[in-house]
Amino acid sequence: MTDDNQQAAPSSENAADAPHHRTIKSFVMRAGRTTEGQERALRELGPRFLVPFRAEVLDTTATFGRQAPVVLEIGFGMGDATAQIAQTLSDTDFLACEVHEPGVGALLKKIGEHDITNIRILQHDAVEVMEHMIAEGSLDGVHIYFPDPWHKKRHHKRRLIQPTFVDQLVSRLKPGGYLHLATDWEPYAQQMLEVLSANTALRNTAGSYADKPAYRPLTKFENRGLRLGHGVWDLVFRKA
């Protein structure tokens, strides 16, 4: 990830004449050291649990080796919550997107330690995954927990939860499928609520913000924030 806008490189065939399209990234590629244990997990478990990005619709039944509800998680960080949710909801398959290699390695390590079989990982930009690999009307749910709030006003355009992206998420959900967001930044929670409420294909399962669903564990960071009096806001909307 980078804080600057990315340029899509034109093909060499028409490089001189092609316009330069600027794509705003909602994430920044943070530098981070991959530990020896994470590297071992990438090496040993990656071939089984990592799904390579391809510009074609993913066959989730073949990918997971069974037919089950499928939930997409976008940006799982170090994978603690993802691993716990997958163990709690063992009858559901989780397709998890994260671009940071230490986080991918950490989740793979947890998969090995706890013998978790219902997670597959895409180490790729979730926007492109949604566009190319997820079929319309195929998801039972989407989890997006604590996305970068981009605090400064001039960076709000980089926030992941925008009307266009929510439209795309909704198109990938089955009727009755749900969208579960969580943030600890109240101004972003307010924007999330406004954007989701404005989508006529979604209905709010709560009057405003939702109670934290039992399947979502409290992270160490979240627990520390709650002890300091910081708020956390969950939103759960369903597709009509």
Judged against a pLDDT cut of 50, whether residue 68 lies above it is answered with: yes
Provide the residue ranges of all domains of the chain, joining segments of one domain with +. 36-239
Predicted pLDDT of residue 101: 96
148 is catalytic: yes
Average pLDDT over residues 73-100: 97
Q: Which CATH architecture has domain 36-239?
A: 3-Layer(aba) Sandwich (3.40)
| Residue 237 annotated as part of some ligand binding site | no
| Residue 80 annotated as part of some ligand binding site | no
3-state secondary structure the chain: CCCCCEEECCCHHHCCCCCCEEECCCCCCCCCCCCHHHHHHHHHHHHHHECCCCCCCCCHHHHHCCCCCEEEEECCCCCHHHHHHHHHCCCCEEEEECCCHHHHHHHHHHHHHHCCCCEEEECCCHHHHHHHHCCCCCEEEEEEECCCCCCCHHHHHHCCCCHHHHHHHHHHEEEEEEEEEEECCHHHHHHHHHHHHHCCCEEECCCCCECCCCCCCCCHHHHHHHHCCCCCEEEEEEEC
| Residue 140 annotated as part of some ligand binding site | no
| Residue 184 annotated as part of some ligand binding site | yes
Least confident interval from 61-65, 191-195, 221-225: 221-225
Least confident interval from 25-29, 84-88, 181-185, 212-216: 25-29
| Residue 73 annotated as part of some ligand binding site | yes
Predicted pLDDT of residue 225: 76
Comparison of pLDDT for 157 and 85, the residue scoring more: 85
Mean pLDDT taken over the chain: 88
pTM of the model: 0.85
Q: Which listed residue (148, 167, 211, 234) is catalytic?
A: 148
